[in-house]
Chain A
């Protein structure tokens, strides 16, 4: 039987606000447990939530960038379930209508476009962090309780773990691009649930749905979805039945594990939140000023600047990267050569220094001059790394540096002549072989000359002169 996987994602993004969603406690992770709590986020009697306006505006930024519809009024509700990670035993979340409806994640704009429609985007508060100690008690850290989350829910249109991973990555890039979230998976800024079902290919009905929880990275999403689809297919192929249940991803054992069966699914008893008036969004607020979207920029880099799809993708991995690239172009550098420099040597150097590429103190005018020096053949490409180091460590100007160190490419026949003669003189065997017909040795001669010149000799000129010289003696 030929099966098809159907996946919908619920992605929780921790917003980059200074304070929590409903109180003044700092919205950070790490540090001493229970050091960022107050009466409000502990849900003590008599306390009331006050909505963080910054969280709303960040949510609207993302919603607008995703092309979602933003209702004039959205409401908060209490989602009730009893669990020690919920200080009030209900979570304040947006119900119907939510902050935004519809919109889509898009990608592959360089040539293999894809689009994942969204169902809804809403604000909600995070729960506390529980630490279960094997054979002992459970510790509760309320520092995370009340942290602002944005939940993005996709339509169930994804067909594989890889597609799910691609969507999560695209969203991760976008929220960082918009400075809506730091989206660090290791800090729990990005957490994913996936609804996975399989069905016979071509069938219209959906199979029994399994909810997967606890994926903290895009890679985890891919593996969990792939594993779960395989598990369900195997069950069906063996004549079994997939049960509607909630499973959790165990990254260590690389498998999904039953969390609760259908009959244990909590009934949330939603109640409109009486402590928060309906959230009203003005027309102006629903259209925030946004930077050019990453996919728009990526497409432009390919279509207008003639970059390869790969270069365009790397250069739009972050807004800072794209800004750096375009600031180099603004200094007059050629698009392709600048792309080559930034995605090549500059990225390699950053990796070597274990520093994000965009955090290094590049200076656009200097990078642009370096691109020029290499592209015009004034400086041998082999000097690129040294010149980048000089820019970073000594704020050196590449043009001055090249002059000072005498790295200019030599094309003058009078200067190249002595180097060529020296090489030919010590290479009798190769000269004889070349003249005997092994024309392929030309490159070897050129390399010898370039090395002898300390990299300064222009390989093209050398090749021309060597070829002429050897034919003349014959």
Chain B
């Protein structure tokens, strides 16, 4: 029989509803896998010592998240949890409040197990940039899980959680979903409150979902999305994931195809996804995409500028790790020198440079201009079509340490995801198949602003057509 910990969330919910299982069964199954596998995989940074398990059947009003064990990325606040963002500078800091998304999960009755592994402050694409923990790809021990939400993606893939909350600034939910073979949803910017999400680059940060199926991702998304007065950038539009009729939907394909996708297998999977959609009655439309390299450069400038301001508060004065010094400046320098990792320091310095007058002001303005351009081009593409079909990445998960000496090259991994983030559009990564090296591949669907409903409907079509299956067991 299939391991209970590895079935989709909505199937597990059905078992609870019919009485075939109780929440303790799900929790035990997941915990058993955490005990045996997490030492190797490194999905969790911290596990809550006490998870209150309901010992009664679900109340009539309970939704599918009731009693469902899940993981929360270590940059999303939960009261009294060590939300350290995988940074030494926040070691020992306990969040004094719950993020809005976490409160929503609580209200839905989900069981939150602990904090999932990540790159420090969400900066990275491999979950190697933590001071103490690297996450491995469940399907190849020498490969990365992707990042920065690598811990959550690996946990969901390998049955160490039914779902995970991640955060996506330039691809940090979609790319690890691609690497681990799970579904990754980055909602529209502002769809999910950022209240309680530790800021990386505030105009780009979105809380996203990692799940085993498109339906599971939709379930979690509907629970955490919605207006929150504590976040002035949160949308007030109602959240509904209606059953969208996919027939007649126009799918946008880049003019000339995905010519610069470097992997032939990735190319094959995209073609397969497109064929599946055509068979479902979707009409193809050729559209222009923004220049990816320019978008990547603009992203680097904007994200660094915002990062440098967001991370300025970590000086050890009134929270987080402390350091003595002859004066405040010296103590702050000492805390920051010891507390931040290399990638974070690089971005903070780049941001300070970008914002320094007189040249920096101009750099930032030019980056904003590129961002406007990217938005306009996407906007045109999404007038001609309803959903875009793009790759998530050029190829499968790379090797651990592959970019250790070249952090700038690592950022190129995100070239398909970053432009979408700049435009704030919703995007969904759906696994499509396996490459010869035994690693998953995926496609990325991009929707109109606030149109997650159609996006998820299109994702279901791809999912059904591809028949993607995860391996029976984790590679060791």
Contact = CB atoms under 8 A, between A and B. Distances in A.
| Chains A and B come from one and the same complex | yes
Given A39-B97, A48-B195, A267 B356 contact: yes
Given A45-B90, A275-B232, A82 B315 contact: yes
B317 A84 contact: yes
Interface residues of A, number: 31
B312 interface: yes
Given A51-B232, A269-B352, A45 B309 contact: no
A78 interface: yes
Contacts of B305: 271
Interface of B: prevailing SS: loop
A415 interface: no
A271 B318 contact: no
Contact of A271 (B233, B306, B315, B329): B306
Interface string B180-205: 00000000000000111111011100
B144 interface: no
Interface in B142-200: 194-199
B199 A50 contact: no
A48 B230 contact: yes
A82 to B, nearest CB: 6
A82 B233 contact: no
Interface string B347-373: 000001001110011001000000000
Interface stretch (A87-95, A175-183, A349-357, A393-401): A87-95
A89 B361 CA distance: 20
Chain B interface residue bracket vs A: 35 or more
Contacts of B194: 46, 48
B198 A271 contact: no
A44 B319 contact: yes
B97 A270 contact: no
Given A82-B332, A269-B355, A271-B306, A46 B95 contact: yes
Contacts of A89: 312-313, 315
A473 B99 CA distance: 104
B328 interface: yes
A50 B227 CA distance: 13
B198 A267 contact: no
Contact of B202 (A80, A140, A269, A275): A275
Contacts of A80: 309, 312, 355
A267 B318 CA distance: 24
Interface in B197-251: 197-199, 201-203, 229-233
A49 interface: yes
A47 B195 contact: yes
A83 B328 contact: yes
Contacts of A47: 195-196
Contact of A39 (B96, B197, B199, B203): B96
A82 B312 contact: yes
A45 B315 contact: no
A460 interface: no
A433 to B, nearest CB: 85
A228 B285 CA distance: 72
> Which of B85, B99, B308 lies at the interface centre, i.e. has the most chain A CB atoms within 10 A of its CB?
B308
A48 B231 contact: yes
B360 to A, nearest CB: 8
Interface string B411-443: 000000000000000000000000000000000
Contacts of A271: 305-306, 309, 355, 364
- By Cβ-Cβ distance, the 4 closest A-B pairs, closest first, are A269-B355, A89-B312, A274-B202, A274-B203
Given A50-B232, A84-B328, 5 more contacts: A46-B77, A48-B231, A87-B313, A89-B313, A271-B355
17 contacts: A39-B96, A42-B319, A44-B96, A49-B232, A82-B312, A82-B328, A83-B328, A138-B328, A140-B318, A267-B356, A269-B352, A270-B355, A271-B305, A271-B364, A274-B233, A275-B202, A277-B232
